[in-house]
Structure 1
């Protein structure tokens, strides 16, 4: 009835005296009233009533099955309201006419209109959340991750379930579900609904997703419920404060740096000593040292501490000279073909003397003579399904480490960044300059002020970074 009351209020305002042309509109209202009251004309009126009822529900974010009693009651009440409005229009044309008004609607108008809590479905809430102009557009890997999370939520709670019907106990059930959900389920069970996966005997033998991954799902649910709360679609947030406790693991324990022996294994491998080729034959000794992506990416990581995706997405115009110093710009792009992990990630790093001696800048100059200034440096690296070269390279490097005998689960490509951090410590470089050289942040407000240290200031610092027991002379002697 609240919906119909709002409809009547709008209809009255749309036909207020300053909008009423009695010469042209009054005869139409007479005919409209006759049609509305004539039950033999129902086939003509029914589509109009149905359309109006559907529109009212949609605009109020309400859900009502078309064959349900609520929707049928709404149509009947709306039909009566249409007759009432038509009667009032006729009475304005003929003030002395004896037309009885419906006391039901007179009573409605004496009561304040109360906005109902919207019964918007979870699927529609996700759509509205995506379209919200206050939120940045999602692209690439971030969008794919969000879509996977939304599919999980729709699978568990039901896409057509009204968001207002999800209670705190339901969120706790979801947490119990996540504790049993297997890691990498989409790879092991492609196309299988998440709620079906947990019941599979094969899935129950697999390790469950980590607390961090489970919390990602809960955070996304929380983002949706907070959005619904702020939009007035629900009265309380059922997901507020519900996250799994994270195990007390220090950040340094998540990944290990490469040891001196590890570095000797990596840069003494056929890929850097001579291999058949840098594709399928990278692990087989041969006459070729091929200076393309697989050769340069590990070297750049070792001497800059850059993240894998930061290196793989480099374009030729990211290598510049500033303040008389060779630097590499690390930056995102508007179309997200290039992205940085954090605000601190938008920065520059200096080109260390060692990669220069091995021929990195000469390699860049050679590419510039053949390609556009904004062309990818490592166009030879495969692009993954997510649109990033770093994904296939990460898988390649895991296989590469196996081939050279580095099998520790905490030693991965990101270990280069930890190795670089240890080298900065060994060089006794100040914390501020460490952050400038590698893109870490202390979180202090003062870092938001000023432009930061100049490249020439950092040049003497980068020259102090070394790996004394790592001999790369064989790469300097073979620069062709």
Structure 2
């Protein structure tokens, strides 16, 4: 098993970010620890896979952070009382990786069959950790604080514009924080963000669908975003004060400020509300404005699905179409 896992990771790691490689290696280490590195994949049965699932359901959430648990063998750690278990979503992430590995192993002759298909657990309903959109009133409060700064909480232009780009584009945290000045472009009279992994060697996109052009909302332009971009022309990066971290890319600083300082001090820190909620908000409001789903997928970097989109509309949508969709978002100003 150990050799097969090593080959699987070597083959796929070129397509994954360093963070994803580390995460998937940790998932597969559970399999190696449970079965042993010398176990032949062909001897692992569906019943064995079911036992692994039971182990995952009993796995302490803090096993990799608490020294006592980290030092324990797997089967001992799952019996240690007084610890929260990993969430259903995390269990399913493990199971999906195990399934991908056994699919690969079957195709490459390491195993006679695939395993872990259809074995995901049900997600908890109304989970407190489920991310959710900001309400219209909350969005207005955020917008007012970011543009007028009445509470004095916004002390950096990078915090201001990083948050506002999240509010009006739905881009992911790291996609925003790794932007170069040259990524703010114009075609005719349409200004847009060219979200790409080109340039800095540390720039990463979550998926190939993440490579996209997102027109700037008219509100961003009217409140001075292009002036901010012009002020950064002497450098390469739009937000040079966001340093790179192997764990969180360039987004760690802004994410921490938003989630641990800005939202709590505004009395807005509640379960499910984090920086990523800006993305949820954009998707929700565009859907409510009757923007077609394929256009929403293009704007936020989700893969378009279905024959019409994958085969016949490979060219995608025009910047004009995307601009009209983006401007369906309310400007968040109070009347």
What's the TM-score bracket when you normalise by the shorter of the two chains?
0.7 to 0.9
- Aligned pairs for 1:81-92 (under 5 A) are none
Partner deviation per Cα, 1:168-201 (whole Å, 9 max, x = no partner): 3322221111111122432234743561432333
Residues 436 and 179 (structure 1), Cα distance of their counterparts in 2 relative to 1, 3 Å cut:
closer
8 Å Cα contact 1:381/1:393 also seen in 2: yes
Aligned position for 2:197: 332
Match of 1:389 in 2: 250
Matches within 5 A, 1:14-93: none
Does residue 416 (structure 1) correspond to residue 294 (structure 2)? The answer is: no
User: 1:284-308: per-residue Cα shift (whole Å, max 9, x none)?
Assistant: xxxx84312x121110111112121
**Offset of residue 166 of structure 1:** 3.0
| Residues 209 and 301, structure 2, Cα contact 8 Å, conserved in 1 | yes
Q: Give the RMSD, CA atoms, in angstroms.
A: 3.2
> What residue is the counterpart of 1:80 in the other structure?
none
With over 3 angstroms needed to count, the CA separation of the structure-2 counterparts of 1:378 and 1:192, relative to structure 1, is farther
TM-score (norm 1): 0.60
**8 Å Cα contact 2:62/2:83 also seen in 1:** no
Secondary structure of the corresponding residue to residue 187 of structure 1:
coil
TM-score normalized by structure 2? Answer: 0.83
Tell me which of 170, 182, 186 is aligned to 2:60.
182
Cα distance 1:442–1:230, how it changes in 2: closer, same or farther (>3 A)? Answer: closer
Whole-angstrom distance in 2 between the partners of 1:249 and 1:145: 25
How much does 1:387 deviate?
5.5
Cα pair 1:263 1:470 within 8 Å, conserved:
no
CA deviation vs aligned residue, 1:111-147 (integer Å, no higher than 9, x gap) = xxxxxxxxxxx21111222344x88444411111112
* Separation (CA, whole Å) in 1 of partners of 2:324 and 2:101: 49
Distance across 1 between alignment mates of 2:77 and 2:324: 56
Distance 1:398 1:291 in 2: 17
CA change 1:413–1:362 in 2 (3 A) is same
Specify the alignment match of 1:128 in structure 2.
7
* CA radius of gyration, larger in: 1
3-state secondary structure, aligned to 2:237: coil
The residue number in structure 2 matching 1:447 is 309
| Partner of residue 200 from structure 1, selected from 80, 85, 94 | 80
Where do 5+ consecutive residues of structure 2 fail to align? none
SS at match of 2:47: helix
Flag the 1:269–1:219 CA change in 2: closer, same or farther, 3 A: same
Aligned length: 329
- Please state whether the residue corresponding to 2:232 is helix, strand or coil: helix
Q: Which residue of 2 aligns with 1:376?
A: 237
Shift of 1:222: 2.8
Partner of 1:107: none
Give the direction of change, closer, same or farther, for the CA distance of 1:345–1:235 in structure 2 (3 Å limit): closer
Contact persistence 1:319–1:329 (CA under 8 A): yes
Residues 197 and 352 of structure 1: is their aligned pair in 2 closer, same or farther, counting only changes over 3 Å? same
Distance 1:182 1:310, change over 3 A: same
Match of 2:112 in 1: 235
**Structure 2 counterpart of 1:398:** 259
Q: Would you say 1:360 and 2:225 are equivalent positions?
A: yes
Structure 1 contact 320–326 (Cα < 8 Å) conserved:
yes
User: Which residue of the other structure, out of 154, 163, 170, is the alignment partner of 2:41?
Assistant: 163
Against the structure 1 CA distance between its residues 414 and 161, is the aligned structure 2 distance closer, same or farther, given a 3 Å change threshold? same
C-alpha distance in 1 between matches for 2:285 and 2:212: 20
